[in-house]
């Protein structure tokens, strides 16, 4: 006697639904991961700005109360490393030895949009105040 085995295969609609659900889940995970990467970049840039600010203050103390002309001066004086002159988005920091609004110097990152003068700028003097 021959036995018949019936195989049940997935229908095309079932396969499309499974693929769609997997795609939606991957989109949600991707969206959440993108936000975490951006937060990490923000925190890394803030930490780097704090280190640079302290290096500028140290330079000032050790060089007759004058600020360095540029951040490269800190590299040349072996106070910081060359790879610390850019923010987490790969853009160079903005630095001016003359401060504004009663501050000793100006030190900023353009932030996520990589442009100075926008709402996402990160100012050394405002880190931790928000």
Please provide the CATH number assigned to the domain covering 14-126: 3.30.700.10
From CA 32, how far away is CA 47, in angstroms rounded? 23
Could you tell me the residue ranges of all domains in the chain? 14-126
Q: How far apart are CA 29 and CA 33, in angstroms?
A: 6
Task: Name beta bridge partners: 70.
Answer: none
Convert the pLDDT of each residue in 76-109 to its tens digit.
998 898 888 999 999 999 999 988 888 999 999 9
pLDDT tens digit string along 25-64?
888 887 777 767 778 889 999 999 999 999 999 999 998 8
- Classify burial at 7, counting beta carbons within 10 Å of its beta carbon; exposed 0-12, middle 13-18, buried 19 or more: exposed
Element (H, E) at 62: helix 12-62
**pTM of the predicted protein model:** 0.72
Evaluate whether 52 touches 84 at the Cβ level (below 8 Å): yes
- Nearest C-alpha neighbor of 107 from the set 66, 65, 61, 46: 46
Contact 54, 68 (CB under 8 A): no
Mean pLDDT confidence for 120-124: 94
* Cα 27 from Cα 79, distance rounded (Å): 44
| pLDDT over 60 (residue 15) | yes
């Amino acid at each position: 006697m021959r036995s018949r085995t019936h195989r049940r295969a997935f229908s095309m609609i079932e396969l499309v639904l499974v693929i769609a659900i997997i795609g939606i889940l991957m989109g949600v995970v991707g969206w959440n991961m993108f936000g975490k990467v951006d937060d990490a970049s923000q925190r890394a840039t803030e930490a780097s700005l704090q280190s640079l600010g302290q290096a500028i203050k140290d330079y000032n103390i050790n060089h007759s109360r004058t600020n360095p002309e540029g951040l490269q001066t800190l590299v040349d004086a072996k106070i910081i490393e060359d790879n610390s002159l850019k923010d987490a988005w790969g853009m160079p920091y903005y630095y001016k030895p003359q401060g504004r609004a009663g501050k000793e110097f100006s030190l900023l990152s353009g932030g996520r949009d990589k442009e100075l003068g926008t709402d996402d700028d990160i100012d050394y003097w405002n880190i931790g105040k928000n």
